[in-house]
Amino acid sequence: MDFRTEIEPVSFPFEITQKDRFLSIGSCFSDKFGRYLQDNKLDCFSNPYGTIFNPISIFRLLNSSITEQPVMNRYLTENNGQWYHYDYHSKLSETSASSLSHHLEELHKKVRDYLRKTDYLVITLGTAFVYRLKNNQHVVANCHKKPADHFDKELLTQKEIGIRFRQFYEKLKLFNPKIKIIFTVSPVRHIKDTLQGNNLSKSLLRLATHYFCQDFKDVHYFPAYEILMDDLRDYRYYEEDMIHVNETGQKYVIENFKESAFSPDLKQFINQWQHLKNQLNHRPFQPESESHQKFLKNLLNRLEQIGNTVDVEKEKELVKAQLM
């Protein structure tokens, strides 16, 4: 008897290889995905603007990087001696407005240079609820703990999300014609919007991504949301706050993505690399023993072999430092 409804395997019209580059952006779930790629020696620029939840802010930031638009300094704001920008996450802050503006300009240049050679843009959408500044209705990415009466809360429409994406998509494809976009909807629940509101929000995001995939042949969807909601469907896969996905749930989702999208060679490499990482993390009782020294020499040889395809200089130095 089956006690689960497992999700159907996703079939992508491409295979991701070890040479491909990624830019991952969006909600905190995109951080986990980006870290997985980086930990397995893939080239990934993860959440350069910090955690961004709503699609309007995501598309606007990427568009600003592509088109070299200057940072909108009128949206800089100060709080307890630190300067923030309404379009970015609070981790991007400085002690002066000018230094923050300069920092953000440099960040956009870095993103633009990276995007020009990126193969896959992975966008994780978190919520369709947005906050607009009351004075001009500008959608903010982060309220930076400003008083609630500064903002109007609004639920985006599928039409507005679609218009904003099409505008961004057209500029992106002129900038980098080879790039593919993979959308996911974050399984992290925004209970501050109430559970009813969260479900309404996620349904709008899911509907939007469905039409993106229908309208553009190089836009794809990976069902991270459905895997948590309908496949795992259990609080065991969430943190104690019952909101964020725990490590076990994250691993299951990422393993599904790996099986769906990675080439056989890349899967083989990741398995090999994970084995080497476990050996690198080994802590012996007798570091000077002959057996452990032999183990280190063998490990160094394997790192040198794999070093023909990926950068393992840090790992090699770590092993060399332990050799007697």
pLDDT in tens, 62-89: 999 999 999 999 999 999 999 999 999 9
Residue type, 168: F
Judge whether 27 and 126 are in contact, CB under 8 Å: yes
Give the model confidence (pLDDT) of 121-176 as tens digits: 999 999 999 999 999 999 999 999 999 999 999 999 999 999 999 999 999 999 99
Judge whether 122 and 23 are in contact, CB under 8 Å: yes
Domain extents for the chain?
Answer: 21-262
Judge whether 228 and 187 are in contact, CB under 8 Å: yes
In 10 A of CB 145, how many CB atoms? 10
Token pair belonging to 3: 């006690």
Q: What percent of the chain has pLDDT over 90?
A: 74
Classified as helix, coil or strand, 35 is helix
Note the pLDDT of residue 62: 98
Q: Mean pLDDT score of the chain, rounded to an integer?
A: 93
Residue 232 DSSP class: I
Instruction: Return d(Cα 219, Cα 217) in angstroms, integer.
Output: 6
Residues 6+ apart with CB under 8 A from 274: 40
Instruction: Return d(Cα 202, Cα 208) in angstroms, integer.
Output: 10
Instruction: Return d(Cα 187, Cα 190) in angstroms, integer.
Output: 9
More confident residue, 105 or 290: 105
Residue type, 110: K
Q: Longest C-alpha distance within the chain, in Å?
A: 72
Give the model confidence (pLDDT) of 28-42 as tens digits: 878 889 999 999 999
With 90 as the cut, is the pLDDT of residue 5 above it? no
Predicted TM-score (pTM) of the model is 0.93
Residue 262 DSSP class: B
Of 273, 246, 281, 308, give the one whose Cα is nearest residue 37. Answer: 273
Note the pLDDT of residue 1: 62
- Say whether domain 21-262 belongs to CATH 3.40.50.1110: yes
Give the model confidence (pLDDT) of 290-321 as tens digits: 888 888 889 889 999 888 889 999 998 988 88
Note the pLDDT of residue 261: 96
